[in-house]
């Protein structure tokens, strides 16, 4: 799988470890991260990763910052991005199965490397179920386009 990964300065160490591990698993990883020890702003990484996913240059994206909140907010401003802030494997699975999340946002401050690895593995291996969930994702897309989701046909 082609995965775009982005971090800010608080997520860089966790991100570098994840980049290495995913590469060893055979994934193609495109990274946008800060240099270790240098401050950088999370919206820049969120934009780069979100654009890669939205344009099809990457299959999925992963973003890491201190809390994951800023990355999630910024990434969700990009049309076609469904970024999910996830803190456990159940949410990781459901974000894929029910919401077709295409960008995973993680907190580097509250999750250890082991938890990050478990969450990422579940998220990457979970597939979108479609069905009634597709109708709901279509309504999210309608909101992106300024439409009232109450009037969108399934």
- Residue in 98, 105, 133, 150 annotated catalytic: 98
* Residue 65 annotated in active site: yes
Residue among 33, 65, 105, 150 flagged as catalytic = 65
Cα 36 to Cα 8, 45, 65, 139, distances in angstroms: 10, 15, 13, 40
Give Cβ neighbours of residue 12 (< 8 Å, ≥ 6 apart).
33, 34, 35, 36, 64
DSSP code of residue 153 = -
Quote the tokens at residue 16: 């570098």
Could you give phi then psi for residue 101, rounded to 5 degrees? Answer: -60, 130
Q: State the Cα–Cα distance between residues 81 and 79, nearest whole angstrom.
A: 6
Nearest to 144 by CA among 83, 93, 85: 83
98 carries an active-site annotation: yes
**Residues recognised as catalytic:** 65, 98
């Amino acid at each position: 799988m082609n995965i775009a990964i982005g971090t800010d300065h608080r997520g860089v160490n966790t991100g570098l470890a994840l980049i290495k591990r995913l590469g060893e698993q055979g994934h193609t990883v495109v990274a946008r991260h800060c240099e270790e020890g240098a401050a950088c702003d999370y919206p820049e990484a969120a934009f780069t990763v979100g654009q890669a996913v939205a344009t099809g240059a990457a299959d999925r994206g992963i973003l890491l910052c201190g809390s994951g909140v800023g990355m999630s907010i910024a990434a969700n401003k990009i049309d076609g991005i469904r970024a999910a802030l996830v803190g456990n494997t159940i949410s990781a699975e459901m974000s894929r199965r029910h919401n077709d999340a295409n960008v995973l946002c993680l907190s580097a401050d509250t999750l250890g490397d082991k938890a990050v690895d478990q969450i990422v593995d579940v998220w990457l291996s979970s597939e979108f179920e479609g069905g009634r969930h597709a109708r709901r994702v279509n309504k999210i897309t309608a909101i992106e386009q300024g439409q009232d989701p109450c009037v969108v046909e399934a």
